[in-house]
Amino acid sequence: MNDIHILVTMPQHAVFRTFFDADAMAALEHIGTVHWNTLGRQYTQDELGAAVRGMDICVTGWGTPVFDEAVLAQADRLRLIAHTGGSVKPYVTDAVYGRGIRVVSGNEVFAESVAESVVAYALASLRQIPYHSVNLAGGIWPESFANRGLLDRSVGIVGYGMIARYVVGMLAPFHCPIKVFSRHIGQDELDRCHMEKAELEELFATCDIISIHSGMTPENHHLVTRELLQSMKPGALLINTARGAVIDEPALCEVLAARPDLSAALDVYETEPLPAGHPLEKLPNVLLMPHMGGPTVDRRLAVTRSVTQDIRRFLAGQPMSCEISRSYAAKMSAY
Q: Which residues does the annotation mark as catalytic?
A: 243, 272, 291
Cα–Cα dist 196/10, whole Å: 43
Strands of the chain (E only): list them: 5-8, 33-36, 57-60, 80-83, 102-105, 155-158, 178-181, 196-197, 209-212, 237-240, 263-266, 286-288
In 3D space, the residue among 3, 9, 2, 4 whose CA is nearest the CA of residue 58 turns out to be 9
- DSSP secondary structure of 186-249: -HHHHHHTT-EE--HHHHHHH-SEEEE-----GGGTT-B-HHHHHTPPTT-EEEE-S-GGGB-H
Q: What is the DSSP string of 114-138?
A: HHHHHHHHHHHHHTTHHHHHHHHHT
Where b means 16+ CB within 10 Å and e means fewer, 272-287 reads eebeeebebeebebbb
Fill in the amino acid letter for 98: G
Cα–Cα distance measured from residue 59 to residue 71, given in angstroms and rounded to the nearest whole number: 15
- DSSP designation for 266: E
